[in-house]
Chains A and B, each alone.
Chain A
């Protein structure tokens, strides 16, 4: 079974631009969560999608948004990029995002904002 895939793997953008990251979950998984990882803050939860609906959201500004498609693939968008948005963005998939589900992570997208 293929694992979680994320594209692109690396991105370089400038301040003020916007960016879209993509995540394809493990086949059969319907929950996709997004996390931001930085050296200072560690791993922080962004949001979770299940069956095309956002079920949960972390404490990030409205510039961070996402969506999920009917095939469970998910995208996250960051508008008006700031230097502090430079991070490794990880997505994770699980069967239902339920309390007994293991979350499986992708390799991440490394975003650098100049």
Chain B
């Protein structure tokens, strides 16, 4: 059974700091891993999608890495800003014909960036 864990559950940093969010998964048989951002009471915004054959993806100040063999992914946020404050979720798309459209989510890391 695939389980996804995110540590820490909450993180508070001063503005301008670089930070890393962690995601681990128990089954390496995945198609891809996706990072999302969720603002309070809102839906999810896709940030980065890493295919299982890839090692990392970058978008602006965000960089996500994937180490499938160790079951880990990190989301690196450079020069954090107060507008980055949100909950960050990782989700894996597990291999298998019966798993279409199904993402397995971690519990998320709630980030607060203080001005």
- Spell out A's residues near B (CB within 8 Å): 4, 6, 31-33, 35, 42-45, 48, 50, 55-56, 58, 88, 90, 92, 94, 97-100, 102-108, 110
Contacts and interface: CB of A to CB of B under 8 A. Distances in A.
19 contacts: A31-B101, A42-B108, A50-B100, A50-B101, A55-B100, A55-B101, A56-B101, A56-B102, A90-B44, A97-B100, A99-B31, A99-B32, A102-B34, A102-B49, A103-B34, A103-B46, A104-B46, A107-B42, A108-B43
A75 B7 CA distance: 34
**Interface pairs A-B: 3 shortest CB-CB:** A48-B101, A99-B31, A97-B101
Interface string B74-115: 000000000000000101010100111111111110000000
Contact of A105 (B45, B95, B99, B107): B45
Interface string B33-66: 0101000011111100101000000000000000
A105 B36 contact: yes
Contact of B43 (A42, A50, A105): A105
Contact of B46 (A45, A50, A100, A105): A105
Contacts of B93: 99
Nearest to B89: A43
**Looking at chain B's contact residues, is the secondary structure mostly helix, strand, loop, or mixed?**
strand
Given A99-B32, A100-B31, A103-B34, A33 B46 contact: no
A14 to B, nearest CB: 22
A47 to B, nearest CB: 8
B31 A42 contact: no
A31 B99 CA distance: 13
B41 A110 contact: yes
A90 B43 contact: yes
Contacts of A90: 43-44
Contacts of A92: 44, 101, 103
B32 A58 contact: no
A102 B102 CA distance: 11
Nearest to B42: A107
Interface centre among A6, A43, A45, A50 (most CB of B within 10 A): A43
